[in-house]
Chain A
Amino acid sequence: MLRVEAVRRSFDGTLVLDDVSFDVAPGRITGFVGANGAGKTTSMRIILGVLAADAGTVTWKDGPLDSATRRAFGYMPEERGLYPKMKVRDQLVYLGRLHGLDAGAARRNADALLEQVGLAEKADAKLDTLSLGNQQRAQIAAALVHDPVALILDEPFSGLDPLAVDVIVAVLRERAADGVPVLFSSHQLDLVERLCDDLVVIAAGQIRAAGSGSELRAKYTLPRIEVLLGTDAGWLRDVPGVTIVELDGDRAVIELADPEADQVVLREAMTRGPVRAFTPIVPSLAEIFREVIR
């Protein structure tokens, strides 16, 4: 378990992180979402020790996170960069060794990863001859080459084509399945929704919500139901505990104050005529996000 506890940090008198606390659980992919400037990158840099916190701690397996453990982390900074004139495989091997692997292991891991992210043919090409998408793949490989014990990825999907996204998603899932805690930030909420098990929402330097997707849904949104009747649905307006979200003739989207009230509404509808559809709507992450940072 990687745990961020009560971390504060300011730059030139401006508070950027205000009492930030959240967990990244082993074996789970945690999405870190927030608007630009909300504090995602600063939090990640503090986890990696690239920046120091003014107050608060980062702990690893209930102990202080020391530099030796940090070194075993995999990090993809927001600002991408590798050596432009160095061959892709050479950089991976070099970075693997800097992270503490011996030469043989670094070479094996580099080759396996290049294969996995689809860059095996480009292994001996210099980085700056690669397309942007391929450079991104190399960047992800660079974060993974030393078999990290934890992964901290700042916007790993920005600039990736859909094919590359699939490749990276598969790689991250595989690492998580091996028990590695994975934290990644993104403002592509659809991707976060697809990929993450847990979610941490940050806004203006404060953690607004944290938990699994279903927990957050239950906590921050009311159950919604799409109703399609044979007759006009206007009467729904007058049912207590029901809020109309949309109403269009015989079709309506309603929100229930009490989740159990759905049966009451359904019975009432059936007495009034045909019910062609009665479908619970799972709110999207984007909706939860808007709700949380409101």
Chain B
Amino acid sequence: MTSFWTTTKLVAAREIQVRLRDKTFLYGTLFFLFFTVAITVLPAIFAGSPDEVAVAGSNPAVQQLRDAGLDVRVVADDAAAEKLVRDGAVDGAVVTTNGKPEVLAMDDVPGDIVSALSVQPGTRLLDPEAIDSVVRVLVTTAFGMIFFFTAVGFGAQIAMSVTEEKQTRIVEILVAAVPVRALLAGKVLGCGILAMGQIAVLALVAFVGMNLTGDSAVITMLAPALGWFVPFFIVGFTLLASLWAVAGSLVSRTEDIGQTTMPVQMCVLLPFFGVIFLNDNQTAMTVLSYFPFSAPMAMPLRLFFGDAAVWEPVLALVVLVASCAACLAVGARLYEGSLLRTNGRTSLLTAWRSRG
């Protein structure tokens, strides 16, 4: 007899094979790859070269501009400088008008040049943040988006694959041949492996991209958060996957799948918005980092921000594993109870009570 585990592996292998041959899946992955390349590499390229500024050699500002790290082109006089601006050869020019320095540019105020000439007061932060606010927003969005898109994208695929088996009626052959729970486990495992694989590829691309562009400091800062993200993601994904599978098993036609997957989508969407919008509210983030549906996003972020104590991720993970186990138990029973009801929609109560 083939064991439960062998069956699970067979089902998982089929799920993976089907996805890997599916053009929509491949294009989706490619799109995410380009997206990752774009956000890691492009800003560095655009931000790469300093502003070019033309200035007459007699102008006292030359040294000041050089000190600010700008690309200074020394020309004969102010007229030559202005011409370079008009020709588009430089971003701006510094001239002297009525004895005072003036910055010339075509249609954009060249901020770097202006600030190079300005006198700025000294600053002293009394409570300096360890993390730059831009990085903070970027990292929050990145963690949130990765979890959100994976949980929704792969979750919907699990639901679809369950409904499809009902719709095409192959489910009766499957149920007669193998334990229903092995079928469920195989689907979750297969899609989970694909999801992790996709994230790993994206992470690798992002890592290489950041290294090439010299942003490796962020990676060092991210490492512990990433380390925790993996177990949180795996358990969190499994939790949601079981819900998606139940949602899929409640309907008999893929056309109707929206009715039952909506609540599951909300279980991903609301925590996602919560994390994105409340990421600088410590209390809210503390709550979100323990709440099972948002923990995979919120806890790694709190670790990254340095807001969580050492024991906190452990406790949150325990909570998440417990909810996941409960969800799997309930989900498996509902899945079993609704899988063979191929007429229309099955209510949760009917599925729960059904004994085949």
Contact = CB atoms under 8 A, between A and B. Distances in A.
20 contacts: A51-B340, A70-B176, A71-B178, A73-B176, A77-B169, A77-B172, A79-B169, A79-B342, A81-B169, A81-B170, A83-B164, A94-B10, A94-B14, A95-B173, A97-B2, A98-B2, A99-B2, A100-B2, A142-B173, A143-B173
A82 interface: yes
A86 to B, nearest CB: 7
Contacts of B175: 50
A244 B355 CA distance: 55
Interface string A43-58: 0010011111000000
Given A71-B177, A95-B177, 8 more contacts: A50-B176, A77-B172, A79-B172, A80-B169, A82-B168, A85-B18, A97-B2, A100-B1
Contacts of A79: 169, 172, 342
Interface string B158-199: 000000100011111111111100000000000000000000
A273 interface: no
A98 B178 contact: yes
B168 A50 contact: no
Given A52-B355, A71-B2, A84 B168 contact: yes
A289 interface: no
A119 B179 CA distance: 30
A75 B18 CA distance: 24
Contacts of B14: 94
A68 interface: yes
Given A50-B340, A98-B178, A81 B1 contact: no
A50 B354 CA distance: 12
A150 B124 CA distance: 84
Residue in B174, B177, B342 with the greatest tally of chain A CB atoms within 10 Å: B177
A73 B103 CA distance: 87
B128 interface: no
A191 B141 CA distance: 66
A143 to B, nearest CB: 8
B136 to A, nearest CB: 44
B213 interface: no
Interface of B: 1-2, 7, 10-11, 14, 18, 164, 168-179, 340, 342, 355-356
Residue in A73, A77, A98, A143 with the greatest tally of chain B CB atoms within 10 Å: A98
Contacts of B7: 98
A86 B18 contact: yes
Interface string A151-188: 00000000000000000000000000000000000000
Contacts of B169: 77, 79-81
Given A77-B169, A82-B168, A98 B174 contact: yes
Contacts of A50: 172, 175-176, 340, 356
Closest 10 CB pairs of A and B: A81-B169, A68-B1, A77-B172, A79-B169, A81-B170, A100-B2, A81-B168, A48-B176, A75-B176, A52-B356
B217 to A, nearest CB: 47
A86 B168 CA distance: 12
Interface in A115-148: 142-143
Contacts of A52: 355-356
Contact of A99 (B11, B18, B177): B177
Contact of A77 (B10, B173, B178): B173
Nearest to B178: A98
A262 B122 CA distance: 128
B176 A81 contact: no
A99 B1 CA distance: 8
A81 B173 contact: yes
Contacts of A99: 2, 177
A67 B172 CA distance: 15
A80 to B, nearest CB: 6
Contacts of B174: 98
